[in-house]
Every structure is written in structure tokens, then in C-alpha cells.
């Protein structure tokens, strides 16, 4: 994709995610379910954190494109390294995990992840913007431009650290409120919860590897060390 076209694309996707984040921050709250948006607010939901992550990633991507257009190549090189690290370690695996895990659980029993009471708070289009559109947009990013992946060990360590931080945040919220972020967690005993978190970590690592595989198949080998 030409750099000028890529710049416009990244700008549009950045504006889209900014709009979605704005929309979810201003949903009607006068009839919201009592269990939603209390301790931790929207920041306890992986879906919302992923939207912020995507907005940051596409903002960085847009900045990298602009720097390349104006020939600030030294600055662009640094920003591109940050862009690639964000995409490979977080933006692609997290968006893929959010979309696929949400719709699997929603299909099985929506009350476990997205209670029906939310339908009166979050419009249908916003639900799809948060849980559906994130996956094809992430795949389109791989098709649009190559990304250099870090050494596998470093990439997985970074992904694991972020995953454990979120798990720690979920457990902290439970320790303070006695309520789980997602009703699904209440159905597990401690051993089952450990197994679920471990399995989820394995799934997101699989998505990391899948993103690297797609990138390599489309663009060839392009790793960097740091």
C-alpha cells in the first residue's frame, strides 16, 4: 500500500476507535444495571481496554506514516519500532482474543459475559464495534503493512506480563468488591479459575503466534531485536 494511502487509512481507523471510545464513555447510564460500571468503572473490562489499546496503536501508526511522508526518517524509525511492538505483542492478539472469546461465550450463554440487561444501555452497533469489528480490522492491518516481530521469547514474556497484570486487576477487584468482573468467573472454584486463566493465556499466545505466522506468510521474515 502506498504511504499516502496508508496514512489516510491509519488516520481513519484511529478516528474510528476514538469515536467508539467516546461513544462507550457516553452511553446512557440512567438505566444501567446495578452490577455494571461500579468499582473500576469501564476500566475493568478487557473490551474497553482493548479499544484504548487499538486507538493508541493506530495513533502511533498514523504518526509513523506522517514522519515517513515528511522524510523525518530517523524519528520515523523509532516510532515504527514502537508501532510494530504494539501490534505484534498486544494489538493483534488482544483484539483477536476479545472478539473470538466473546462471541463463543455469548453464543453459549450470553449472561456469562454480556447480560441481556446491557441491551438497554449499549446499542447493537456499539456492541459490534467493540466485539466484532476489532478482528477484521486487525487482520486488515496485517494485509496493509508489514510488521517486524521481536524475538519470540521477548514477545511472549511481554505478552505474559500484560496478561498477568490484567488477571491481577481482576482479582484485586474481586478482593475489594466480592464481585467478579464477568459473571462467568463465579461458576469456577479456585482450581477451575486457575485452569481457566491458564487456558486463556494459552489461547492468547496462540493468537500471537498466528499473527506472526500471517505476517511472515504475507511479507516474509522481518524480525528485529531490542
What's the pLDDT at 72?
Answer: 79
**For residue 179, what pLDDT is reported?**
87
CB 151 within 8 A of CB 225: yes
Residue 64's pLDDT is: 94
CA–CA dist 73, 76 (Å, integer): 5
Burial of 223 (0-12, 13-18, 19+ CB in 10 A): middle
3-state class of 33 per DSSP?
A: coil
Can you give the pLDDT at residue 26? 81
Residue 224 is predicted with a pLDDT of 42
Q: What pLDDT, on a 0 to 100 scale, did the predictor assign at position 37?
A: 53
- Cα 199-200-205 angle, rounded to 5 deg: 100
Whole-model pTM over 0.85: yes
Helix, strand, coil percentages, rounded to 5, for the chain: 80, 0, 20
Q: Judge contact between 50 and 92, C-beta under 8 A.
A: no
Q: Could you report the per-residue pLDDT of 24-75, keeping only the tens digit for each?
A: 888 765 555 555 556 777 788 999 999 999 999 999 999 999 998 887 778 8
For helices 46-69 and 3-25, give the axis angle rounded to 10 degrees. Answer: 150
Domain ranges of the chain: 5-219
List, for the chain, all residue ranges whose pLDDT scores fall below the cut of 70: 1, 28-38, 221-226
C-alpha cell at 79: 516510532
Cell of 115: 447480560
Cα gap 221→195, rounded to integer Å: 34
Amino acid at each position: 500500500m502506498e504511504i499516502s494511502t496508508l496514512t489516510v487509512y491509519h488516520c481513519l481507523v484511529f478516528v474510528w476507535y476514538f469515536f467508539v471510545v467516546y461513544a462507550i464513555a457516553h452511553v446512557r447510564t440512567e438505566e444501567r444495571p446495578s452490577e455494571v460500571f461500579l468499582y473500576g468503572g469501564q476500566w475493568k473490562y478487557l473490551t474497553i481496554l482493548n479499544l484504548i489499546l487499538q486507538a493508541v496503536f493506530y495513533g502511533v501508526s498514523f504518526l509513523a506514516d506522517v514522519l515517513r511522508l515528511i522524510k523525518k526518517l530517523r524519528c520515523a524509525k523509532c516510532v515504527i519500532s514502537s508501532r510494530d511492538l504494539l501490534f505484534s505483542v498486544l494489538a493483534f492478539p488482544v483484539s483477536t482474543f476479545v472478539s473470538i472469546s466473546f462471541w463463543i461465550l455469548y453464543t453459549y450463554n450470553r449472561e456469562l459475559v454480556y447480560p441481556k440487561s446491557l441491551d438497554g444501555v449499549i446499542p447493537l452497533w456499539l456492541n459490534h464495534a467493540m466485539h466484532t469489528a476489532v478482528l477484521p480490522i486487525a487482520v486488515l492491518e496485517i494485509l496493509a503493512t508489514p510488521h517486524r516481530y521481536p524475538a519470540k521469547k521477548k514477545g511472549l514474556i511481554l505478552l505474559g506480563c500484560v496478561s498477568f497484570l490484567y488477571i491481577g486487576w481482576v482479582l484485586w477487584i474481586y478482593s475489594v468488591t466480592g464481585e467478579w468482573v464477568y459473571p462467568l468467573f463465579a461458576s469456577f472454584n479456585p482450581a477451575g479459575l486457575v485452569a481457566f486463566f491458564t487456558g486463556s493465556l494459552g489461547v492468547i499466545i496462540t493468537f500471537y503466534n498466528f499473527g506472526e505466522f500471517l505476517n511472515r506468510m504475507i511479507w516474509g521474515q522481518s524480525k528485529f531485536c531490542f
